[in-house]
Amino acid sequence: MNIKEQIQVCENNLLNAMKEQDVDALDRLIHDDLMFIGPTGELITKEMDLETYRLKQMNIEAYDILHQAIHLYQDSAVVVVTLDLKAIFMNQPIQNRFNYVRTWKKIQDQWMIIAGACVALHRDESDSQS
C-alpha cells in the first residue's frame, strides 16, 4: 500500500471512529499535542475532542464526502475534505457542508493527526427556520 492509500485508510478510520463514537480508535489516530481549530474559531485539544465523544455530545447521523485531496510531504500529509454532515452536537442539530483540513504525521510507524481546522461552508439549515 502506498502512502496516499495509507492516508486514505486513516481518513476512513477517523470518520468511522467519529461516527461510532469509538474513543479508543480516536485516541490512537490523534496525537497528544493536537491543535485543531473548530468551526467557530475555538482551539480544540485532543482531550477536549475525546471528551466530546466520551460524553456522547457529538452524534454523527450521516456524512457524505464530496471531495478529498491528499498532498504528501515526506513523513507528513495534508488532507482537505469537503463533506455534508448531519449530526447532533450537544443536543443541537447540525446539517451543513464543511471543509476540513488535517495534517497527518508518521510518528513511530503510525500516522497521527497533529493539526487541523474546520470551516462551515454555508449556514446550518436549522438557523434559517428561526
Residue 129 in domain: no
Residue 38 in domain: yes
Residue 127 in domain: no
Q: Can you give the pLDDT at residue 123? A: 58
Tell me the pTM: 0.89
* One pLDDT digit (tens) per residue for the chain, 130 residues: 999 999 999 999 999 999 999 999 999 999 999 999 998 899 999 999 999 999 999 999 999 999 999 999 999 999 999 999 999 999 999 999 999 999 999 999 999 999 999 999 975 455 444 4
Provide the 8-state DSSP code for 128.
G
Residue 115 in domain: yes
How many separate domains does the chain show? Answer: 1
Q: Can you give the pLDDT at residue 122? A: 74
Residue 29 CA, chain-centre distance (Å), reads 10
Using alpha carbons, select from 19, 1, 15 the residue that is nearest to residue 113: 15
Residue 36 in domain: yes
In angstroms, the CA 23 to CA 31 distance is 13
Q: Which domain holds residue 99?
A: 3-122
Distances (CA, A) of 95 to 67, 111, 113: 17, 30, 25
Residue 45 in domain: yes
Instruction: Supply φ then ψ for residue 9, to 5 degrees.
Output: -60, -45
Residue 15 in domain: yes
Residue 130 in domain: no
Domain containing residue 81: CATH number: 3.10.450.50
